[in-house]
Amino acid sequence: AAAAGAFSLREVLEAFQRCVTEQREGLLEPFLQSLGTVFSFISKDAVAKVSLLEGHCGGGQGQQYVSLQSMVRHELAAGPAALRARSDSGCRTVLRLHRALRWLQLFLEGLRSGDSRTSVVCTDAYNASLAAYHPWVVRKAATVAFCALPSRDAFLEIMNVGPRDEAVAMLGEAIPYIGDVYSITQELFAQHKLLDLP
C-alpha cells in the first residue's frame, strides 16, 4: 500500500472509474478527486482550479454541481453571455482542467509505451494538448521544465503500485477511463458551444 499522503495510481484509477455513471453523466466529485491527486504533484495552477470547483460543489448551489451535465445546465440558464463574462464559472474552470486531462492522457500513454525519454513524451503530449492555449513564454518555460523530468522508471515508482510491470499494467487500466471522462466532457462542451470559453 502507498504511504499516507503519497501519490497512488490505484486511488486515481478508482476515482476515474467512479466518474462516469451508467447514464453517461460525468460526476464532478470523483473527477475533482482524481485530478486533485494527479495535479498536486504537477501544477499549483491546476490545484487552484480544482479548489475553485470544490467551492462550487460545496456551496449553496452545490446540488447544481453534482455532474458536468447539471453544472452546464445551471450555468447556461443565466445565458451564454453571462457565462462567458464569469471568470470563476465552473464551465470555464472545467474546460481548463479538461485540456490538462488531455495532456495527462497523452503523457500516461507515452509513459506506458516507454518508447522515448519522459522529457520527450511530456513535450509531445504538451504540444498536442495545452500548448495551443498558452503564450510563447509559457510554452518555452514548459519545454525547459520538461527537460528536468525524472526517468520513466522513477515515474513508475512514484505511482506506488509495486514493480514496474504492475505500474505499466495499471496505466493500461487507467487510460481508457481517463479517455472516457475526456470524451464525455468534450462532447458535452461541443454540444453547448463551450470549447472556446475565454
- C-alpha count within 13 angstroms, C-beta hemisphere, residue 65: 22
CA distance 48 to 41: 13
Q: What is the pLDDT of residues 164-197, one digit of tens each?
A: 899 899 999 999 999 999 999 999 999 999 999 8
- At 2 the pLDDT is 41
How sure is the predictor about 4, in pLDDT bands with cuts at 50, 70 and 90?
very low
How sure is the predictor about 6, in pLDDT bands with cuts at 50, 70 and 90?
low
Asked if the structure places residue 3 within a domain, the reply is: no
Q: How many CB atoms lie within 10 A of CB 60?
A: 7
Asked if the structure places residue 164 within a domain, the reply is: yes
**What residue has cell string 449553496?**
60
**What residue has cell string 509495486?**
162
Number of folded domains in the chain? 1
- At 161 the pLDDT is 82
Asked if the structure places residue 4 within a domain, the reply is: no
Residue 94: all three cell numbers together: 472545467
Residues in the chain: 198
Asked if the structure places residue 198 within a domain, the reply is: no
CB 52 within 8 A of CB 88: yes
CA distance 184 to 56: 20
- At 1 the pLDDT is 41
83 CB burial (10 A radius; 0-12, 13-18, 19+): buried
Give the whole-number percent of the chain exceeding pLDDT 70.
95
- At 80 the pLDDT is 86
How sure is the predictor about 37, in pLDDT bands with cuts at 50, 70 and 90?
confident
- State the CATH number of the domain containing residue 128: 1.10.3520.10
- At 180 the pLDDT is 94
CA distance 150 to 141: 17
Asked if the structure places residue 59 within a domain, the reply is: yes
Q: What is the pLDDT of residues 89-130, one digit of tens each?
A: 999 999 999 999 999 999 999 999 987 889 999 999 999 998
Type of residue found at 81: A
Range of the domain at 144: 9-192
Residue 99 backbone dihedrals phi, psi, to 5 degrees: -65, -40
- At 148 the pLDDT is 86
CB 13 within 8 A of CB 173: yes
Bigger pLDDT: 80 vs 39: 80
